[in-house]
Structure 1
């Protein structure tokens, strides 16, 4: 049984998109990945904070442009589903941190994540970077990743005319495929694989994409706090 999808109010600046239009789901993700790939060509690591800020600003602008097309973010989940989403967010980060160093790096994954230590920026620069990094980690990534992985790609695997598939419908094939691809997109492939399966299960159970966004937001927030407190920059 799927949750009803509320109709968004029309707005003069609304971006008109049909249910099968994939661009609003793919554009923020594509921009983020493409700009991230360019970070390897920076003249030095000292350029990274500015590069990340520019990337976050561009992705945020794209998301703002398409914000009124994402009908699948509504309605909000009920209280019990929110509690479950929060609990699973903590579980995900428990796996992410707890499994660190307990699984092999896969050669074709490109090696460990490139870490940036903001302590090299001085006090003011450090906290300015951390603020921008946390905004991207907590407010941008959970939204555009869930829209791409758990809404668009999950439904597209079920039916390439994905607009016909109700938000929250999950099959074993779509859950496994999105989780595997989610794992391939992260150096931390094992916790990412488990995370993809957990959030596919959350989507199937709650029939709410917003529940997945909330869980992802909580997970990223907890990870960000841990990274800052433990100086564990390798997770960024």
Structure 2
């Protein structure tokens, strides 16, 4: 539950927003959903922090550098792997403009912080710490990351990919973060790599105004 429920809560909010939109809710009326989602997920992670024993294992300096480099590489690929056949559906994107038509920078800041801090922690606890190891053996806490087999890696990477609109970029990102985890055997390396990817993407979006990537 401490690894699954925060992620499930995040997904439920996405589904809820989609349902509201289908029933005619305006984007400006749903602007509170993202801050609420991030705040609730963060509260859950903090409440269950003592359950995340894998976060007590810190990476060595070399693995930190590798994670940063991998995260930057995934960011670069994310920008180019966007052909039509590499996408699932059409991303609605994030509406950064308020009712007055101006960019809502406080909301943008919350979005960037959520993407770079909360999402990497939440997703790596679910996808790598839980699902990858659970697919290898049900008592996943006893499973060493380095000993996860091809089946567990393949299924988790595939599911991580199709969670994203850019499915191919998502699969490459999922494989990169998985290899970081298996190589270092500390969850902090995929969290760091994921955070670098999302942080760079957030910065690029804010500079260029390419809100569709959100």
Question: Per the alignment, do residues 164 and 94 of structure 1 end up closer, same or farther by CA in structure 2, a change over 3 Å counting?
Answer: same
**What TM-score results when the alignment is normalised by the length of structure 2?**
0.92
1:170 to 2:135 alignment: no
Q: Which residue in the other structure is 2:59 paired with? A: 77
Q: Which residue in the other structure is 2:136 paired with? A: 158
| Moved beyond 6 Å, runs of 4+ | none
Number of residue pairs matched by the alignment: 210
1:142 to 2:120 alignment: yes
Q: Which residue in the other structure is 1:89 paired with? A: 71
Which stretches in structure 2 are left out of the alignment for 5+ residues? none
**What TM-score results when the alignment is normalised by the length of structure 1?**
0.84
Stretch moving more, 95-104 or 207-216: 95-104
1:50 pairs with one of 32, 44, 62? 32
Q: Which residue in the other structure is 1:207 paired with? A: 185
Report deviation, 1:163: 2.0
- CA RMSD in angstroms, aligned pairs only: 1.7
1:61 pairs with one of 35, 43, 53? 43
Contact 2:6/2:45, CA 8 A, preserved across alignment: yes
Secondary structure in 1 matching 2:48: helix
Deviations 1:126-170 (A, max 9, x none): 111111101211111000100000110011000012122124443
1:34 pairs with one of 6, 9, 12? 12
Question: Per the alignment, do residues 113 and 191 of structure 1 end up closer, same or farther by CA in structure 2, a change over 3 Å counting?
Answer: same
Contact 1:25/1:144, CA 8 A, preserved across alignment: yes
* Distance in 1 of aligned mates of 2:45 and 2:194: 17
* Distance in 1 of aligned mates of 2:146 and 2:125: 12
* Distance in 2 of aligned mates of 1:169 and 1:140: 27
1:101 to 2:83 alignment: yes
Stretch moving more, 73-82 or 46-55: 46-55
* Distance in 2 of aligned mates of 1:125 and 1:230: 13
